[in-house]
Amino acid sequence: MLLFLFKQLPAKDAFHDAVKSGLQKEGWVITHDPLFLRVGGVEMYVDLAAEKLIGAEKDGQKIAVEIKSFLATSNISEFHTAVGQFLNYRLALEEEEPERKLYLAVPQDIYHSFFSLPFIERVIYRYQLEIIVYNPDGEAIVQWPT
């Protein structure tokens, strides 16, 4: 009997395609969907990777985006997962693709309600999370970090 081993890709977030479309509308070229990383014996997948040319003769910007929907019953539980993934992915990218900047994509309504809470703001500041805000209905990126 032959056994075939297939790597199972992680499930896409509910708003994966909306964020992907929003990035493309802003001129980003999606290069990986998802971005596979293997670091120190561990395999992981960041939701998207994209590039954008800055100028005709210049190197492009490279980003990786972890998308979160916050559709579960507990926002804090989803936040714990998102922060843990972000920190692990950032460390992996520092080793494997140091030119690529990591972002956490969150829906606009959650950003204005949950991400504006003082404790959440402290976590974002302490761990230097780079947040992009998206509108899932309009399939648009509505805010980049300042």
146 residues of the chain, pLDDT tens digit each: 444 444 555 667 789 999 999 999 999 999 999 999 999 999 999 999 999 976 654 568 999 999 999 999 999 999 999 999 999 999 999 999 999 999 999 999 999 999 999 999 999 999 999 999 999 999 999 999 98
d(CA 35, CA 42) in angstroms, rounded, equals: 14
Q: Which amino acid is at 54?
A: I
Per-residue pLDDT tens over the stretch 95-109: 999 999 999 999 999
d(CA 146, CA 144) in angstroms, rounded, equals: 6
Please name which of 63, 65, 78 lies closest in space to residue 114, comparing C-alpha atoms.
78
Instruction: Map out the domains of the chain with their CATH numbers.
Output: 16-143 (3.40.1350.10)
Beta bridge partners of 100: 62
Task: Note the pTM of the prediction, 2 decimals.
Answer: 0.89
For residue 134, what are its two tokens?
Answer: 């998206």
